[in-house]
Structure 1
């Protein structure tokens, strides 16, 4: 049987990798007080119950305390809930499930758990070699249980999201939802897929359903991410704080703290962001996103040597092309062109390695080529990416590539889509607004250009070691708003329409 061959393959070098299978409308107002009130009330209730438990069942002097859950059990609980797991625990879980499927090759559940663990390991290490293993395990689960296998279908949706293949993630996620409509862990997967595809209405519907089904830490964290995308940053911060407070393991808490740190960074709150990132790394030394966050903030604080070290540590454990791009740009801002080129070359190599595991890194490669390589190549790649999955990040990157190749009129169309709430671009990104302002300046729309460059620096004055100084220079060149008298007959003049 094929499943038995899959199980035997685990014992060969390369393991599975060696096998043959390689009510919230868009733009609406956030349900701030009502919904958040329910979550906070639920959190308080849980806290009171826990407190009561301590009072009612105090530990007796000398009585043995309950043992900590075994590492494999901790990782199993995390994978089942779709939350981050500690890397050492994941390794234990993978070893256990590999042994299970070798002895019981028809165990659909063990295959699904194994596949989900491979996905999480690949995501946390940026080692795309895990993804073919994950796909093989998840498909083996489907072969063992073809009908109603929501675990395997959800695992395939998570795998597709990790590969940035949002159309496929949507397909698998909707199939998982059909198999088990009350499985709340499917909804975060669909939120990622719909966001990547720019489907804001579907994102709103899914967010509402998730809020009805789940208000625990994982649900709160994912809801906070959608709030951030909508530009509702206070609500996002509250959701992430509640998620971090309610996390059940250090690895999970570290993940939500990292997201809170990223939100603080996007607001230009350097010290608060650094505190979140430092605590995340203290809780989980393998939290590479937080280490990259430390690099970002330390550079903004002028602590350059520490920033470079933080980026190097992050990249050593998780060779993410985005981190390589950020480190290269930091080197470039310091006048270290040769060191920057080393990082840019590594970025290209990492993108190729990711592609071998089925990961779509066209977005980060297009962003890199626009500013540091071949803008025409960036434009080609990003047009293709836009046709596949027209999300907000792709709209911004495509607009900038068009600007870099001289087509500013079309560039403004995409820059507007990335920054205008009416087009779904509610996220308050200093970089996106900077791009729009620079494009408007090139089109001699000096009023909007001045306004957007000011907004970029107001949102986060430190948003990029390369571009924040350019924003200041461009703003200085534009000068202050001209102090001119109101022209005669202004009261009868036709109003100027946007874009005229």
Structure 2
């Protein structure tokens, strides 16, 4: 049998002759969304081998076995699975289950390497699966994979619609719940996301479910629970790829607590298992920069962008270069960001949030505001979007309109130094000095290294506010427009919007 040729930069898989049967008729596919890139994995249903033979040994079989356990496959094994299914489908184009497997595998690879071209391949494969066996005839595999693909592209309403359709038809299919969690979080429905995470825990144990639980605890602000659950997830992880993803999660939690040395240690442990793990490279770069080890940080950012060229990483690297006074290098990173967003957009990926964050602080705030208003209008109301929209309103001179969005971001529960900083600056502009002082101090207490550009500004703003009046103000948040109290007078001029 002729070996499948390499196309579009994909490694050739095993020849069609190495496989004589489909991988299983009840295979489910569900990838994680763009908000959880580090742990992105195919989570295929518990009935993987129930009514079909187990796959033959080899890398494609290992990828399927990892998916069955809810663990990410190694990238070489994932490439082998893609090649294997393509070869099989040349001879068996009517196998809708294998089309669904192929589409889900493309989605995972595209997410793991930030390769948006794979998303177009994924959609074509999944549409072929539905053409062979439509959704109304019970093609659950393709529906759930389409939900995961929608989330990976940042289309959370569509991701929710596909996953909810599967849950209604098969409420015990645990693989529907990771897709639901990502969709709900992208839409800002955290109550539903937490409920879905609890349902997942009831249906499935192991590292994948525990990692989801840790993220849910983090979003509620339950740091101790999040860390303990993430440690358990790492202990239960199967294989280097999943172990690395769990160690990355522990690194992120340490970073958010303001512990860059501990964070760097966790990221380094992940990189010992998967040397090109993009999220851990970017995380370690961030932590090294916070420790003043900028040359090493720049090295890791370059490696991260080579392994996983996300625009978010280019933004982080650019801000570190800017903080170091290397404006030319910063400009190069910002151009990379814009180019990556444009490229991904041609494959249906929504990069509005990261582009708006860049424009708000480094480009055109009014353009950022336009983009973020559109995101809010389409139902994308996550904490991140609320925070970014509030900050864009503030940066365009609309501090009063900005405050409700800043409050929404901080009041959801997550302890974010960036969110607290933004809220504090907005309150400062409005003359709510007690609240501003509290939130700026909270930002620095949460993580004094949260941004190479903004953390120093938080310290400056807090110093400018000075100490609170003796005995404390009667109200930390005076009604807007009210006269200043006798012990805490307003400054002669309201501070201009800070960056």
Pair 1:404-2:392 in alignment: no
CA distance in 2, matches of 1:11, 1:155: 26
Report matched runs for 1:457-472 at 5 Å: 457-472=444-459
Aligned equivalent of 1:440, options 417, 427, 432: 427
Tell me the CA shift for residue 175 of structure 1: 1.6
Partner of 1:44: none
Aligned equivalent of 1:118, options 90, 98, 106: 106
| TM-score, length basis structure 1 | 0.83
Tell me the CA shift for residue 276 of structure 1: 0.9
Partner of 1:417: 408
Query: What CA deviation, in whole Å up to 9, does each residue of 1:4-54 have, x standing for no partner?
Result: xxxxxx9795499xxxxxxxxxxxxxxxxxxxxxxxxxxxxxxxxxxxxxx
Q: SS of the counterpart of 2:97?
A: helix
Partner of 1:33: none
RMSD (Å) for aligned C-alpha atoms: 2.1
Conserved 8 A contact 1:79-1:117? no
Aligned equivalent of 2:285, options 295, 302, 313: 295
Taking a change above 3 Å as real, the CA distance of residues 496 and 125 of structure 1, as seen in their structure-2 partners, is closer
Conserved 8 A contact 2:252-2:283? yes
Taking a change above 3 Å as real, the CA distance of residues 161 and 443 of structure 1, as seen in their structure-2 partners, is same
CA distance in 2, matches of 1:77, 1:392: 35
CA distance in 2, matches of 1:369, 1:268: 26
Conserved 8 A contact 1:395-1:415? yes
Conserved 8 A contact 1:112-1:141? yes
Aligned equivalent of 1:430, options 385, 397, 417: 417
Tell me the CA shift for residue 142 of structure 1: 1.6
Pair 1:129-2:117 in alignment: yes
CA distance in 2, matches of 1:74, 1:360: 32
Partner of 2:18: none
Aligned equivalent of 2:88, options 86, 100, 106: 100
Aligned equivalent of 1:282, options 261, 272, 276: 272
Conserved 8 A contact 1:362-1:385? yes
CA distance in 1, matches of 2:9, 2:304: 27
Unaligned runs of 5+ in 2: 11-55, 483-499
Q: SS of the counterpart of 2:317?
A: helix
Which has the bigger relative contact order, CA under 8 A and spacing at least 6? 1
CA distance in 1, matches of 2:472, 2:315: 48
Pair 1:171-2:161 in alignment: yes
Taking a change above 3 Å as real, the CA distance of residues 409 and 81 of structure 1, as seen in their structure-2 partners, is farther
CA distance in 2, matches of 1:473, 1:78: 50
CA distance in 2, matches of 1:330, 1:279: 24
Pair 1:351-2:341 in alignment: yes
Q: SS of the counterpart of 1:285?
A: coil
Conserved 8 A contact 1:78-1:84? yes
State the number of aligned residues.
Answer: 430
Conserved 8 A contact 2:417-2:442? yes
Taking a change above 3 Å as real, the CA distance of residues 252 and 357 of structure 1, as seen in their structure-2 partners, is same
Please identify which structure carries the higher helix content. Answer: 1
Conserved 8 A contact 2:89-2:95? yes
Tell me the CA shift for residue 485 of structure 1: 9.1
Unaligned runs of 5+ in 1: 1-9, 17-67
CA distance in 2, matches of 1:276, 1:15: 32
Tell me the CA shift for residue 496 of structure 1: 7.4
Larger mean CA deviation between 130-139 and 141-150 belongs to 141-150
Tell me the CA shift for residue 411 of structure 1: 0.6
Conserved 8 A contact 1:81-1:185? no
| TM-score, length basis structure 2 | 0.83
Pair 1:156-2:146 in alignment: yes
Conserved 8 A contact 2:185-2:382? yes
Pair 1:392-2:383 in alignment: yes
Conserved 8 A contact 2:432-2:476? no
Partner of 1:53: none
Tell me the CA shift for residue 367 of structure 1: 0.5
Partner of 1:62: none
Conserved 8 A contact 2:107-2:119? yes
User: After the TM superposition, which segments of 4 or more aligned residues of structure 1 sit over 4 Å from their partners?
Assistant: 10-16, 494-500
Query: What CA deviation, in whole Å up to 9, does each residue of 1:196-235 have, x standing for no partner?
Result: 1011232232122112111211011011111111111111
Query: What CA deviation, in whole Å up to 9, does each residue of 1:450-495 have, x standing for no partner?
Result: 0000000000010000000000011111111122699xxx9xxx99
